[in-house]
Structure 1
Amino acid sequence: MISNTLLKKEFKSNYKILLIFIAVLTMYEVIIVSMFNPELGETLDAFAKAMPEIMSAFGMANTGSTLTEFLSNYLYGFLLLVFPMILEIILANKLVAKYVDTGSMAYLLSTPNSRKKIVITQGLFVIINIVILILYVTILGIICSEVMFPGDLNIERFILINISVLSIHIAISGICFFASCISNDMKLAYSIGAGVPIAFYIIQMLVNMGGKLEKLKYFTLFTLFEPNNIATGNYHIEFLIAAFIIGIVFYILGILLFSKRDLPL
């Protein structure tokens, strides 16, 4: 139950945004994969010992003994959490709240499409972009690793790490989309849709520093993402499933509330 015309229109209007994020992550991923070598590992470990709080906050406390562990720390501790999150915040708020705020939603609702059909299409567009981005990063990581360090990457665990990061971004984007669906203006949408995910990440940074701050893990969704544990084969599959469920619930709630609430059109 989607509008193919609207979906195509959104791809034409927003593909450049996705390409920008793909380009940025391509650069960082190629660089990080190429950084995997014993000499540099010793340098990074020394830096981590010199500034343990900062490195821990960004999930880069150690280099790991394998390529998979190295990537789980230096690629999935910060870059593949923050950059996709920014994309989700931009798209979720642009696709619903901005239309309402600028009055363009009245134009969409004047078409033969129902309100529910329109908002489902917009939600699906956000999810498709996330899947494309994570799928691309997964394939690129495998190709780069096999070219630079043949056989060193545990591909099965690497794919599972990416499925896990996808589940977290489904959850985060669900919150962003929900905020967009219940807001009449961009300011409120960004306050909730950007404020909550950013707060979750800041809390996670504090959790990573350990000590008494570790108790804060119960107040952030990023606790459900455990790339280091997946890299070593010691993880909780229920965390991955929970993140997916949370995301889908927020998408459904956003769709239902948007379909029934009064709009200032």
Structure 2
Amino acid sequence: MSNMALYKREVKGSFKLLIIFCAVITMYVSVIINMYDPQMMKMLDSFTEAMSELMASVGMKANSADLLGFMVSYLYGFILLIFPMLFCILRGNGLIAKYVDKGSMVSLVAAPVKRRTIAFTQVKVLVSGILLLVFYSTIVELICAESGFPGELDITALLVLNGGLLCLHLFIGSICFLSSCIFSDTKYSVAFGAGIPAFMYVLQMLANVGGKAENAKYFTFFTLFNPDGMIAGESGAIAGIFVLLAGSVMLYVLGIMTFERKDLHI
């Protein structure tokens, strides 16, 4: 159902972006995990308490009880959300809308390949990139944690947590892909594909601050990704991840169907 020639070409097009984001993730993950020592934790906690609202907005909390809790506080509220999300936005737009906008989609649909095959291949390209980023992040976390603090990381909980992270980014990617399929102009594709996840993240930041703004959590899908709840094995947190996974499948399918029926004017 997919076209291997197109898949290989598009994966090659993702290579530079993946290298950049992997390098950034490596830097942040290694630095943050190596800060897990009494002196650095004390300094980070005092900084977090001094700027409590700002730090809370990106999910950073003081007084983490263990290594995984420390990683959740300083990695899963901003770093591991924003950078894979940027990859989804940048790559999602380039898979369909960019071809249509430049008029080069004619070379794809003119070949003896069904539109459904083209769209499904592009979904595979985006999903492959997301899988690689999350898998790479997991490997870097394991290496840094085990080399610096052997035996202190709950590996099973980390794998569950990153499974949830994967589902979140698959959902974000599905929004970007659907926007790319709906709009023929890249400026609209980017506006919606980037605007919706970015707006949802801003709402999550407001909800994290607490107070009256906490009600914003009911209007953003980021609420469905609850790292603390997942680590604790809460059923509601696990259910939220399955909702994200089901939603991503639905949006990817809707994107493929939209592209099949799209008037390309070619």
Residue number in structure 2 paired with 1:38: 38
In the TM superposition, residue 61 of structure 1 has moved relative to its aligned partner by: 2.1
* 1:233 Cα deviation from its structure 2 partner: 4.1
Distance 1:75 1:40 in 2: 16
State the match for 2:252 in structure 1. 251
SS in 1 for 2:96: helix
Give yes or no for contact 2:230–2:238 (8 Å, CA) kept in 1: no
Q: Note if 1:238 corresponds to 2:232.
A: no
8-17 or 202-211, larger mean C-alpha shift: 8-17
Per-residue CA deviations over 1:157-187 (Å, capped at 9, x if unaligned) read 1111100111100111101100000001101
Equivalent positions of 1:90-129 (< 5 A) are: 90-129=90-129
Q: Contact 2:85–2:173 (CA<8 Å) still a contact in 1?
A: yes
CA contact (8 A) 2:59 2:73 kept: yes
Please tell me whether residue 159 in structure 1 is matched to residue 142 in structure 2: no
Q: What is the CA deviation profile of residues 191-238 of structure 1, one whole-angstrom value per residue up to 9, with x for unaligned ones?
A: 100000000000000000011111111111100111122334446211
Separation in 2 of the partners of 1:149 and 1:48?
23
Matches within 5 A, 1:1-265: 1-234=1-234, 236-265=237-266
Distance in 1 (CA, whole Å) between partners of 2:121 and 2:218 is: 33
Percent identity between the aligned chains?
A: 42
Runs of 4+ residues deviating >4 angstroms:
none
Judged with a 3 Å threshold, the aligned counterparts in structure 2 of structure 1 residues 50 and 95 are, in CA distance, closer, same or farther, namely same
CA contact (8 A) 2:49 2:62 kept: no
How many angstroms apart in 1 are the aligned matches of 2:120 and 2:234?
37
Distance 1:39 1:250 in 2: 46
One-letter amino acid of the counterpart of residue 94, structure 1 = G
Gaps of 5+ in 1: none
Taking the aligned partners of 1:232 and 1:49, their CA distance within structure 2 comes to: 24
The whole-number CA distance in structure 2 between the counterparts of 1:14 and 1:60 is 31
Mapped partners of 2:233, 2:98: distance in 1: 43
Counterpart residue identity of residue 135, structure 2: L
The letter of the residue matching 1:262 is D
Unaligned ranges ≥5, structure 2: none
C-alpha contact 1:93 1:193 (8 A) present in aligned 2:
yes
Cα RMSD (Å) of the superposition? 1.0
CA distance in 1, matches of 2:201, 2:93: 19
TM (norm. structure 1) is 0.98
Deviation at 1:63, TM superposition (A): 4.4
Is the CA contact (8 Å cut-off) linking 1:63 and 1:73 kept in structure 2?
Answer: no
Contact 1:26 1:140 in 2 (8 A): yes
Cα distance, 1:257–1:35 mapped onto 2, change above 3 Å? same
Q: What secondary structure is seen at the aligned counterpart in 1 of 2:72?
A: helix
Cα deviation per residue 1:87-139 (whole Å; 9 max; x = unaligned)? 00001100110000001100111111111100110011100100011011111
Amino acid at match of 1:90: L
Aligned residues: 265
Contact 1:184-1:264 at 8 Å conserved across structures: no
Using the alignment, how far apart are the partners of 1:137 and 1:146 within structure 2? 14
The answer to whether the 8 Å contact 1:73/1:228 transfers is no
How far apart are the structure 1 equivalents of 2:191 and 2:139?
Answer: 34
The residue type paired with residue 180 of structure 1 is: S
